[in-house]
């Protein structure tokens, strides 16, 4: 078993840039054209253009744009990756987040260019239930899984694992259900934090393709396994001490099946077991930062992104604030504790419910 990656210092800044349409597309273009791989050392725009067979004048203007974004540094006529860019995207990077960069530009931001048509004609065809980054991939491929795995590896999975390990009685946990776990990265970090824990990553078959590779790569095959299934339509396995639902319950919104899935989670837990939900409903979504442009605060990027995706595809993508906690109590959980969790991808809501002990 190899030690899993830790969060890097520059992750938050690069992730924040990916919420901006211009910056995200510039990052994606730089990745696809190999620009960052050429900037581990100081190089002129002419040198970069020559090495990559790019247009010299356009390359110069493009590097100036990247410098303005803060992802490259400039010294006279020479350019070099910023420290965080080199860590995350440079040649020999110890944490390659290129799949997430492409996903943000192509899967989230580019569809917004079609807003005029959407306003006139209505939304386009929604992605399959498992396609967006929060959960995984559709049956046609694994497009969103790799990007979501980058986000998980870059800090949030470690944060959630530490929260699980701090739960009262965590030392007695033996089994965990990672609901809609897709890539399985949250399961790996949970297994690392709790050495006695075995984990089932439960998701649609196509969404689990990457999980098998990550489980084998990091040496967790004896403790983490994949379990294919549809948590809306199928009955969940049982006997779990803890169930984690990370950025997946929002997919129950279109057909109002949130309560159904929560009932299944309650039934899947042993008495005294915990249900932990991480989802995109910070206070900002309830209106706290609606006046942010006039009072100097930054727009809450992740809720704004979810609103945009919902507009493009014609379905809600973010949980109404308080819905998960309320549904947990309605499903029979004895108590619920809720708080914010700040991650490299923005601020999320964390709801922790406990089933009544025997």
User: Which pLDDT belongs to residue 92?
Assistant: 62
Q: 30: alpha, beta or left, given left = phi > 0 and alpha = psi -120 to 50?
A: alpha
Whole-number mean pLDDT of the chain? 80
**Mean pLDDT across the stretch 209-226?**
93
Using DSSP, state whether 247 is helix, strand or coil: coil
Contacts of 160 (CB under 8 A, 6+ apart): 186, 189, 190, 244, 246, 276, 278, 341
Mean pLDDT is lowest, of 42-56, 84-98, 181-195, 238-252, for 84-98
Confidence band, pLDDT 50/70/90 cuts, at residue 128: very low
**Mean pLDDT across the stretch 41-54?**
96
């Amino acid at each position: 078993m190899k030690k899993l990656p830790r969060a890097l210092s520059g992750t938050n800044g690069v992730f924040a840039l990916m919420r901006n349409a211009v910056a995200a597309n510039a990052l994606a273009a730089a990745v696809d054209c190999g620009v960052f791989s050429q900037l581990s050392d100081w190089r002129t725009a002419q040198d970069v253009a020559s090495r990559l067979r790019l247009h010299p004048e356009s390359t110069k203007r493009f590097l100036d744009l990247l410098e303005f974004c803060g992802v490259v540094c400039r010294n006279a006529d020479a350019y070099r990756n910023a420290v965080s860019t080199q860590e995350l995207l440079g040649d020999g990077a110890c944490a390659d987040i290129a799949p997430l960069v492409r996903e943000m530009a192509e899967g989230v931001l580019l569809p917004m260019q079609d807003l005029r048509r959407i306003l006139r004609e209505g939304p386009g065809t929604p992605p399959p239930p498992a396609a967006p980054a929060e959960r995984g991939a559709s049956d046609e491929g694994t497009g969103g899984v790799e990007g979501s795995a980058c986000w998980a590896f870059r800090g949030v999975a470690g944060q959630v694992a530490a929260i699980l390990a701090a739960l009262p009685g965590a030392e007695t946990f033996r089994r965990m259900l990672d609901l809609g776990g897709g890539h399985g990265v949250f399961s790996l970090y949970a297994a690392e934090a709790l050495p006695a824990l075995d984990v089932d990553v439960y998701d649609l078959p196509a969404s689990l393709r990457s999980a098998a590779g990550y489980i084998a790569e990091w040496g967790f095959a004896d403790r983490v396994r994949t379990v294919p299934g549809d948590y809306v339509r199928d009955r969940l396995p049982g006997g779990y001490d803890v169930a984690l639902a990370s950025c997946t319950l929002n997919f129950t919104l279109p057909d109002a099946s949130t309560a159904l899935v929560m009932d299944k989670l309650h039934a899947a837990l042993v008495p005294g077991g915990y249900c932990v939900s991480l989802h995109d409903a910070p206070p900002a979504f309830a209106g706290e930062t609606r006046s942010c442009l006039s009072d100097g605060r930054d727009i809450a990027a992740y809720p704004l992104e979810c609103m945009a995706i919902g507009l493009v595809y014609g379905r809600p993508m973010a949980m109404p604030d308080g819905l998960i906690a309320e549904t947990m109590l309605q499903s029979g959980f004895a108590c619920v504790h809720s708080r914010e969790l700040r991650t490299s991808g923005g601020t999320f809501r964390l709801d922790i419910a406990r089933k009544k002990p025997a």
